[in-house]
Chain A
Amino acid sequence: MFSNLIKTSVLSVAALVASVPATAKDTVVLSGIVQLERVVTEDGKAQKVLAAPEGVVPGDRLLFTTSYENSGGEPVENFVVTNPLPTAIRLAEADAAFQVSVDGGATFGDLGAIKIEDAEAGARAAEARDVTHIRWTLERLDPGAKGTLNYYGIVR
């Protein structure tokens, strides 16, 4: 009796969701992880190794990865992923894969092309440390399309 009730309610929820046009919302999934890059020396050779961090200290280099997948049956268009940088993180380096913002996400562009107005020194080229947001733009995600977006940050 009780389990029947639950079943019924689950069904009705599913029906409700299906009736709302916004089904695509539930079909695209974003999933984030963070990894700590360490330089380890093995047999006299230095190499970079990524691992889940227990904790980090200032100066540590972190790889933030966001995985996306269109698990629905319909394509989505104008797929834009925006990642505000945590205040304790500065962007390690620019990447052609993403555009950056130095004004809190209001405008985006390539890092090399952005100028910052400085009251004392006049306009100067924006640097990685100025970046506040990162944005990836993908035209279209077909059903089943998936991939990863990532950036390196350094603990300030």
Chain B
Amino acid sequence: MEHMGLKFAASPLVLATFLVASPAMADGVPAGTLIENTATAEFSDADGTPQTVDSNTVTVQVDELLDVTAAWQDGSAVAIGNASAVLTFEITNTGNGPEAFNLTADAAVTGNDFDVTVDGLAYDTNGNGIYDDGVDVVLGAGAPTPSLDADAALTVFVLVNSPAGVTDGDSSAVKLVAQAVTGAGAPGTSFAGQGVNGSNAVVGTTSADADVDGSLIARLAALSLIKTASVIDPFGGSEAVPDATITFTIVANVGGSGSITDLNVTDAIPAGTTYKPATLTLDGAPLTDASDADAGEANNSGITVDVGSAAAGASYTVTFDVTID
């Protein structure tokens, strides 16, 4: 044994420089565990009497391994209109002790058509995997996550907002970065005494630093309105003479992608004409002139048709008649 001790006496210097970390094991022995090994010998002495001898107990403590993984949870690019959107991620403490993680979200990812603004980072408190405003906790600037036990996962939300001037179909990505609060760095980096029960904290194969991109795609609807008029005069022709009827047709086309949440088509009754009662229609169906449960309202100052939510690709046709004074 003596020669064995000598043989390795010079090794610590080498170790410090070329340390190769062990593979991370998410289900590893908890940090702070004491590994104690004792051997026992049983034998018969010269008189044939059974004897027992124990060795000393060698003890080594399990250090805290710092490891983390991150995954994007949405599955496909999250649609973003001209307002806010939420990206969902999950971070997992793959180390062997409790650890909190610092989170950052970087909106300036190479290849982006546009960069969103990051409004905040939040984590799921009710376990439903969906961001609930006012329920899930929004992290303060620079604040870490709560401590996660070994193998525990946390659903993290990145709250973003679309900038102006985005074109329908443009794509963007946001990079979420999670780093162990105790420290991150090259695998094998050790933080003396900062692990569980005063053990060292050692950076594992993940470098205690995980990042993953979440994708966004701009979904912006575009509206076009086309208005046409046809005239029928009292004599069966199409001259715009007094008492002739003009039928106005307004076609609203929703292009692009996504949807318009509150499409409201309005038009004024032209000067020198009078609205012809009960002629307002939407897609061929008559609407009452009164302000009531149906979508339409019409009088001598103008017409209003409240279409409501309108998806891209949809088309709406509004017609009404006026009489030339």
Contacts and interface: CB of A to CB of B under 8 A. Distances in A.
Interface of A: 21-25, 28-36, 38-42, 49-51, 53-62, 64-68, 74-86, 88-89, 141, 148-149, 155-156
Interface stretch (B33-41, B125-133, B251-259): B33-41
25 contacts: A24-B43, A25-B45, A30-B40, A30-B41, A31-B1, A40-B18, A49-B11, A49-B15, A54-B200, A55-B202, A56-B63, A57-B28, A57-B204, A59-B25, A61-B22, A64-B37, A65-B4, A76-B45, A77-B48, A81-B40, A81-B41, A81-B42, A82-B40, A88-B35, A155-B29
B47 to A, nearest CB: 5
A41 B25 contact: no
Interface stretch (B54-62, B284-292, B310-318): B54-62
Nearest to B42: A80
Nearest to B45: A24
Interface in B79-137: 96
A55 B199 contact: yes
A24 B63 contact: no
A30 B61 contact: no
A54 B61 CA distance: 8
> Interface centre among B28, B55, B199, by most A CB within 10 Å?
B55
A59 B49 contact: no
Nearest to B204: A57
B45 A22 contact: yes
A10 B162 CA distance: 88
B65 interface: yes
A66 B62 contact: no
A152 to B, nearest CB: 12
Contacts, number: 177
A140 B45 CA distance: 10
Contact of A57 (B11, B22, B38, B44): B22
A42 B20 CA distance: 12
Contacts of A84: 38
A66 B28 contact: no
A30 B55 contact: yes
Give chain B's interface residue range (CB within 8 Å of chain A): 35 or more
Contacts of A62: 35, 60
Q: Which of A24, A60, A67, A149 has the most chain B CB within a 10 Å cutoff? A: A60
Nearest to A147: B1
A144 to B, nearest CB: 14
A81 B43 CA distance: 9
A32 B62 contact: no
Nearest to A86: B35
Given A81-B41, A156-B29, A34 B14 contact: no
B23 interface: yes
Contact of A55 (B23, B45, B47, B61): B61
Contacts of B52: 25
B168 to A, nearest CB: 50
B46 interface: yes
Contact of A24 (B24, B51, B202): B51
Nearest to A88: B29
A72 B200 CA distance: 42
A89 B60 CA distance: 11
Nearest to A63: B4
A80 B61 CA distance: 28
B53 interface: yes
A76 B51 contact: yes
Nearest to A28: B53
Q: Which of B33, B44, B60 has the most CB of A within 10 A?
A: B60
Nearest to A73: B46
Given A40-B14, A41-B18, A66 B200 contact: no
